[in-house]
């Protein structure tokens, strides 16, 4: 009997893997929302109006041994008797759910810095379908939006609101957009595109206060008072680890510590997704939650799986413009650009990082098609690929979609030029 707390990305894929591979295993999923799975990553598209809220909600595939308790909030876990207490949010009844193995996957919650006025009407965080609907409705009568934070969620939300016709400003305390994913020299292209879309950006600045009576009417940024009538706070998330605190090992920020088998410090309790720190660190992405879910599902059902070091492959997109990265910086960098295709004026720019023995350790790319280049690098990195594997890979070509001498080859060759190679195998 396996219990899963949270039917988000991690919980969904753990349950799905177990239901597919161990059809007789009984699974109970406890989820506080009253609808089944949804795609948080698609919220900006809902706000933009490209898709409807109901499009991003998907039912869990029917499986006879999977019981899904929707609108049930887990409120206590007794790790000795292996029982979970869950409140039925519709009836108020408290239920007890037994487990042999527990997969804990409650995700993270938005974090808002202590800014005066952040509790005013018209100030939103972004996580659920309800947030998407509320923002969309509020934006109908708003004119000027402030987005705080220029990470993926901030930039995607800024673009969505701009497409709805609002004037949009992004404020970011770091020096450029996507500060954890790309370098300043790459971010300058992103900024050019944001500005072309009509989105203003302010970097190296903090929001000191949000002002207004009940509703937000503006913000003080670097001492200047600016008018806004809707504010999106995309300032990070904190792990939802409360139910296991004091019971399993957590770090100083509240992330649950797990090993490479996704085991917590106590037997039979696995944790996955946005609430964990693995031996490789914290990565809060759907892609990471998915791989962690499969590892936990295999181990919880008697198999043996370990999580390899993730590369942190990342992409964010606004319109058809992509910002992608993988891995880290290396000692040597190679840079390059090519057009999207031989007849296009649009560019894709890429940077590849290697060590002195040619091992690829990371890459960054911006422009349409950036993610497909980063995925190639990510796949090679999984087996410690070398830069010549990238420079001389056989990349498919058709002028409709790319250049023959593609940015990926140009950037890789530029990195290779710095190595003393005696014989080339092309
Ligand atoms: C707007 C937005 C855009 C994003 N875009 C991307 C993207 O493009 N690419 C990408 O890789 N990642 C993206 N992410 C991040 C990605 O969604 C998360 O990393 C991923 O969903 C984490 O999975 P999880 O299972 O840990 O948590 P979640 O998917 O958040 O699921 C946790 C679930 O647990 C439930 N829960 C919590 N506490 C309890 C409780 N006590 N009892 C019962 N249920 C509980 C919650 O209701 C929730 O459904 C985005 C996130 C957001 C918010």
E strands, 291-419, are: 314-318, 321-327, 332-339, 347-354, 360-366
pLDDT band for position 314 (cuts 50, 70, 90): very high
Is the same domain home to 212 and 133? yes
- The pLDDT score that the predictor gives to residue 62 is 81
Residues with a catalytic annotation lie at 41
Is the same domain home to 119 and 137? yes
Is 309 within the bounds of a domain?
Answer: no
- The pLDDT score that the predictor gives to residue 36 is 87
Is the same domain home to 32 and 101? yes
Residue with tokens 């002195």: 356
Is the same domain home to 252 and 141? no
Q: What is the best residue among 107, 232, 239, 282 to mutate for testing ligand 1's pocket, by most ligand atoms within 8 Å of CB?
A: 107
Structural domain harbouring 367? 314-416
* DSSP category for residue 40: G
Residue 127 CB less than 6 A away from ligand 1: yes
Confidence check: pLDDT of 61 > 90: no
Q: Are 204 and 173 in contact (CB under 8 A)?
A: yes
pLDDT, averaged across the chain? 96
Q: Whose CA is nearest to atom 49 of ligand 1?
A: 8
Which atom of ligand 1 has the smallest separation from the CA of 44?
A: 1
Give pLDDT tens digits for 390-399.
999 999 999 9
Residue 301 CB less than 6 A away from ligand 1: no
Is the same domain home to 79 and 120? no
Diameter of the chain by CA atoms? 74
Residue 328 region by backbone torsions, left for phi larger than 0, else alpha for psi between -120 and 50, else beta: beta
Q: H-helix or E-strand containing 376?
A: helix 370-382
- The pLDDT score that the predictor gives to residue 248 is 98
Is 306 within the bounds of a domain?
Answer: no
Confidence check: pLDDT of 420 > 90: no
Is the same domain home to 197 and 250? no
CATH of the domain at 278: 3.50.50.60
d(CA 126, ligand 1 centre) in Å? 11
Residue 286 CB less than 6 A away from ligand 1: yes
Distances (CA, A) of 342 to 152, 316, 338, 370, 401: 30, 25, 9, 17, 9
Confidence check: pLDDT of 40 > 90: yes
Give pLDDT tens digits for 202-259.
999 999 999 999 999 999 999 999 999 999 999 999 999 999 999 999 999 999 999 9
């Amino acid at each position: 009997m396996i219990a899963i707390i949270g039917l988000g990305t991690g919980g969904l894929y753990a349950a799905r893997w177990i239901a597919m591979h161990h059809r007789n295993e009984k699974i109970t999923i406890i989820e506080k929302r009253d609808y089944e799975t949804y795609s948080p990553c698609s919220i900006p598209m809902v706000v933009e109006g490209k898709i409807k809220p109901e499009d991003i909600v998907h039912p869990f595939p029917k499986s006879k041994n999977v019981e899904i308790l929707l609108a049930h909030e887990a409120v206590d876990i007794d790790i000795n008797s292996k029982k979970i207490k869950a409140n039925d949010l519709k009836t108020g009844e408290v239920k007890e759910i037994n487990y042999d193995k527990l997969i804990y996957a409650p995700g993270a919650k938005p974090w808002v810095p202590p800014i005066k006025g952040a509790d005013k009407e018209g100030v939103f965080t972004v996580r659920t379908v309800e947030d998407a609907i509320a923002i969309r409705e509020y934006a109908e009568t708003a004119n000027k939006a402030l987005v705080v934070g220029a990470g993926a969620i901030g930039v995607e939300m800024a673009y969505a609101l701009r497409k709805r016709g609002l004037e949009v400003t992004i404020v970011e305390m770091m020096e450029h957009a996507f500060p954890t994913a790309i370098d300043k020299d790459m971010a300058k292209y992103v900024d050019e595109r944001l500005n072309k879309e009509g989105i203003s950006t302010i970097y190296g600045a903090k929001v000191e206060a949000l002002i207004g009576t009940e509703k937000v009417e503006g913000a003080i940024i670097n001492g200047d008072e600016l008018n806004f009538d809707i504010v999106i706070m995309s300032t990070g998330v904190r792990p939802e680890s409360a139910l296991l605190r004091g019971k399993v090992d957590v770090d100083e920020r509240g992330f649950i510590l797990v090993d490479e088998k996704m085991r917590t410090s106590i037997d039979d309790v696995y944790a996955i997704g946005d609430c964990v720190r693995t031996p490789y660190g914290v990565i809060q992405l759907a892609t990471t939650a998915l791989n962690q879910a499969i590892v936990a599902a295999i181990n919880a059902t008697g198999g043996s799986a370990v999580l390899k070091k993730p590369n942190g492959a990342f992409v964010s997109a606004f319109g058809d413009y992509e910002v992608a990265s993988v891995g880290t910086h290396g000692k040597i960098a190679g840079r390059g650009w090519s057009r999207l295709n031989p007849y296009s004026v649009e560019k894709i720019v890429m940077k590849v990082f290697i060590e002195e023995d040619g091992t690829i350790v990371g890459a960054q790319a911006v422009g349409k098609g950036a993610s497909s280049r980063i995925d190639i690098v990510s796949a090679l990195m999984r087996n410690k690929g070398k830069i010549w594997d990238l420079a001389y890979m056989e990349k498919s070509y058709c002028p409709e979609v790319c250049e023959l001498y593609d940015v990926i080859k140009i950037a890789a060759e530029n990195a290779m030029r710095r190595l003393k190679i005696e014989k080339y195998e092309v």
